[in-house]
Chain A
Amino acid sequence: MGILKALGRGFRVDTLRFAGLIYLVNVSGGLVLYAGLFLLLRFSPELAHRIPETGFTEPPILMILEWIRTHPEGMGQVATLAATVALFYMLSTLFLSGGVYAVLLAGGKKTLRDVFLQAVIQFPRMASITLGILVLGGAVIGLEGALLITILKVFASSGNGSLAIVLLTIWVLSCVFVLFWIIAVYDIGRVLRIQTEKNTFVALWRALGFVVKNKVPFFALFTLFLLIMALMHFLLSLLPSPSISLLTGIAVVLVHQVFILLKYFVKIAVMRVETALVETAIQPPAVPPGGSPS
Chain B
Amino acid sequence: MKRFRKPIPHRLIFYGWVLFLWIGMATPPLSAQILPGDARVSYRIEAQLFPAQKKLLAQETIVWKNTSSRPVNTLVFHLYPNAFRSEKTTYFTEAGYHRKSKEELSTLQFGGIDVTEMRVVEGEELTGKIRFISPDDGNRDDTTVAEVDLRNPVPPNGQIVLKLNFALTIPQIFSRSGQAGQYFFMGQWFPKLGVLDGAGRWHAHQYHLHSEFFAEFGHYQVALTLPEEFIVGASGTLINKTKNADGTYTHVFEEDHIHDFAWVACPFFKEIIERIALEGRTQEITIVLLLSHPRAKDRYLSALRYAMAFYAKHIYPYPYRKLTLVDPPFTGLRSGGMEYPTLITGAHLDLLPSSVRLTEWVTVHEFGHQYWYGIVGTDEAREAWLDEGVNTYFELEIMEGLFKDSPSLVNLPLLRLSVPEYHRQRAFAGTRLDRINQPSWHFMDGASYAAAVYSRTATLLWSLRNLVGRDRMLGFFKRYAETFRYKHPESSDFLALFNRHTGEDFTWAFERYVNGYETLDHAVYSIESTRIQDDLGLFQNEVVFVRNQGYFPVELQITLENGEHIHQSWNTPENRKEIRFTAPSPIAEARIDPDFKVPLDENRLNNLKRRIPSRKGISRLIAGAGLMFQHLLSLLVL
Contact = CB atoms under 8 A, between A and B. Distances in A.
A117 interface: no
Contacts of A63: 605, 621
Q: Interface SS of chain B: helix, strand, loop or mixed?
A: mixed
B428 interface: yes
A156 interface: yes
A168 B605 contact: no
Interface stretch (B122-130, B240-248, B537-545, B630-638): B630-638
A47 interface: yes
Given A69-B428, A243-B624, A61 B416 contact: yes
Interface residues of A, number: 70
B268 interface: yes
B501 to A, nearest CB: 32
A61 B425 CA distance: 12
Contact of B329 (A58, A130, A159, A263): A159
A50 B606 contact: yes
A100 to B, nearest CB: 11
A256 B630 contact: yes
A160 B268 contact: yes
B116 to A, nearest CB: 28
B629 A82 contact: yes
B637 A158 contact: no
Nearest to A246: B616
B181 A160 contact: yes
A37 B626 contact: yes
B636 A33 contact: no
A293 interface: no
A34 interface: yes
A70 B603 contact: yes
Interface in A129-169: 130, 152, 155-165, 168
B624 A30 contact: no
A214 B569 CA distance: 74
Contacts, number: 186
B629 A159 contact: no
Contacts of B268: 159-162
Interface string B599-638: 0001111101110011111111111111101111110111
A29 B532 CA distance: 51
Contacts of B183: 159
Interface stretch (B151-159, B190-198, B287-295, B577-585): B287-295
Contacts of A53: 610, 614, 616-617
A56 interface: yes
Contact of A162 (B1, B179, B425, B616): B1
B22 interface: no
B331 A70 contact: no
17 contacts: A33-B626, A42-B619, A50-B606, A51-B617, A59-B416, A60-B620, A60-B624, A61-B416, A64-B621, A90-B637, A93-B637, A159-B181, A159-B329, A160-B268, A161-B268, A162-B268, A267-B637
Interface of A: 22, 26-27, 29-30, 33-34, 37-38, 41-42, 44-45, 47-54, 56-67, 69-70, 82, 85-86, 89-90, 93-94, 97, 130, 152, 155-165, 168, 237, 241-243, 246, 249, 253, 256-257, 260, 263-264, 267
Given A37-B626, A49-B608, A160-B268, 12 more contacts: A26-B630, A38-B622, A50-B610, A82-B629, A89-B633, A93-B637, A152-B331, A158-B182, A161-B330, A164-B292, A164-B331, A264-B634
Interface of B: 1, 172, 179-183, 266, 268, 290-293, 329-332, 350-351, 413-417, 421, 425, 428-429, 596, 602-606, 608-610, 613-627, 629-634, 636-638
